[in-house]
A and B are shown apart, each in its own frame.
Chain A
């Protein structure tokens, strides 16, 4: 049971990194990124290939994951930020699907649908102590991300991206170029997703293309909507709530044994969907409340 709990906490911490990236992009800047999983995927594969295939130190894979995911966001930003919000959403969704198709097809590099096994663990050993060590590293990474996030939110840069979210035309009218800020935010969020992907690859020990379908992106969206967009606490609480739904529904079968394993998968997604509908109806500002009072 303790091992299970630690495992859930590790996955939650990995997802919090994703949620923080999207909170920066959507909650603060208003960028509708429907392709978050693409950057997560790039990070995971970068870490997997460099450590499992090339045998490089884990830290190299992590750095590559961050840099490559961030770099991938740059051209997307240049092209897409000239588009309107809704088109930007479609372009990013298309981007993440393109990434998934590339890792499926580039068999020499990624081993195609079979995926890459044997990615070394972050901490050797199989006991609960090694899992706790991984969790500690993840918490440290989350702590660093949250520290940087808070510095940014409280700064003139943070003020400007919120101004862009509220009214981009007015920002232009005041002599500032919104595209410059949006590209930086896109790259930062993507780099965070890349970091998250590297943790994921080293924790699961195996990556394959079907782990990176658009559902992951929308799980992250559900998390920040439930927690409250534009707030650090919203990203954390929302992600925890999402995991509670996804994992908690697992135990439903203990109470109601007549539900088959196949039904369970649908019920799980249904439960998250229902929660999302109820949140939008009764608490649209999210669990942690209005993002105008975030500080």
Chain B
């Protein structure tokens, strides 16, 4: 699957949070988006995934213009995001969070619920098996039956990744997967991302932890004040003078 964004723009009043940003990403690729706080990275994610309606530009998936689709339909097309602040279903357990994320459940239909209970039980046990695999993959076994609101920040990030995986995505947009996560867990999450990427899932990752991100990403896009100021291989992009000035304040 190939995502192409062209001239995406979003203004709040006179302030252009995202200003004519264009780039591409595809299944199997791993693209990083960096930039100082307030550069417009999360706003860009919301424009791509349909959570915000911008003032211009197009979002194309495999050539189809999806700019007018609501968020849930874009997700159903295989492009699924996480959030900077995890949005877990706090009163549901980790297992229930993951179960809820599975697509096309006939048990979510009230008529089927009362007329085809046996079929739904079969479907539930198939989903439960996938959930067990996901829990094992993310090593969340110890907290599987804990209400997710009680998890640590890092565990919530893992849970969000798990929920996204349950949807069988082709392209995953991660918003700061390492923020507030301890170094050991960062390595673990990086490992999961690498493994999934090797399986052909594409990633676009917003991250402040440049070290971890540049070890993962094949290409970096740098944003500053809503604009894309640089794109390229991590080692090369981070050396550029305008990037160092915008992002690192010239100090590093």
Residues of chain A whose beta carbon lies under 8 Å from any beta carbon of chain B: 148, 151-152, 155-157, 159-160, 162-163, 165-167, 169-178, 181, 184, 188, 291-292
Give A268 to B130 CA distance when docked, in angstroms. Answer: 55
- Name the distance in Å between A268's Cβ and chain B's nearest Cβ: 34
Given A155-B107, A157-B113, A173-B49, 12 more A-B residue pairs with CB atoms under 8 Å apart are A156-B107, A157-B107, A157-B109, A159-B100, A160-B108, A172-B70, A172-B75, A173-B72, A174-B80, A175-B72, A176-B108, A188-B110
Binary contact track B122-153/A, C-beta < 8 Å → 1, others 0: 00100000000000000000000001000000
B114 touches A292 (CB 8 A): no
B110 touches A184 (CB 8 A): yes
Instruction: Say if the beta carbon of B88 comes within 8 Å of chain A.
Output: yes
Give A292 to B146 CA distance when docked, in angstroms. Answer: 11
Instruction: Say if the beta carbon of B87 comes within 8 Å of chain A.
Output: yes
The residue in chain B whose Cβ has the minimal distance to the Cβ of A165 is B91
Give A175 to B49 CA distance when docked, in angstroms. Answer: 11
Task: Known A159-B100, A160-B108; judge A173-B75 contact (CB<8 A).
Answer: yes
21 contacts between A and B (CB under 8 A): A155-B107, A156-B113, A157-B109, A157-B110, A159-B92, A159-B96, A162-B89, A162-B91, A163-B92, A166-B90, A167-B88, A172-B70, A172-B75, A173-B49, A173-B72, A173-B82, A174-B72, A174-B100, A174-B166, A175-B103, A184-B110
The residue in chain A whose Cβ has the minimal distance to the Cβ of B173 is A173
Q: Interface size of B by Cβ–Cβ distance < 8 Å?
A: 38
Give A148 to B110 CA distance when docked, in angstroms. Answer: 10
A167 touches B87 (CB 8 A): yes
Contacts of A148 in B (CB 8 A): 114
B114 touches A151 (CB 8 A): yes
Give A166 to B156 CA distance when docked, in angstroms. Answer: 14
A166 touches B92 (CB 8 A): yes
- Name the distance in Å between B91's Cβ and chain A's nearest Cβ: 4
Residues of chain B whose beta carbon lies under 8 Å from any beta carbon of chain A: 49, 51, 70-73, 75-76, 80-83, 87-92, 96-97, 99-101, 103, 105, 107-110, 113-114, 120, 124, 147, 163-164, 166-167
A155 touches B91 (CB 8 A): no
B167 touches A175 (CB 8 A): yes
Contacts of A156 in B (CB 8 A): 99-100, 105, 107-108, 113, 120, 124
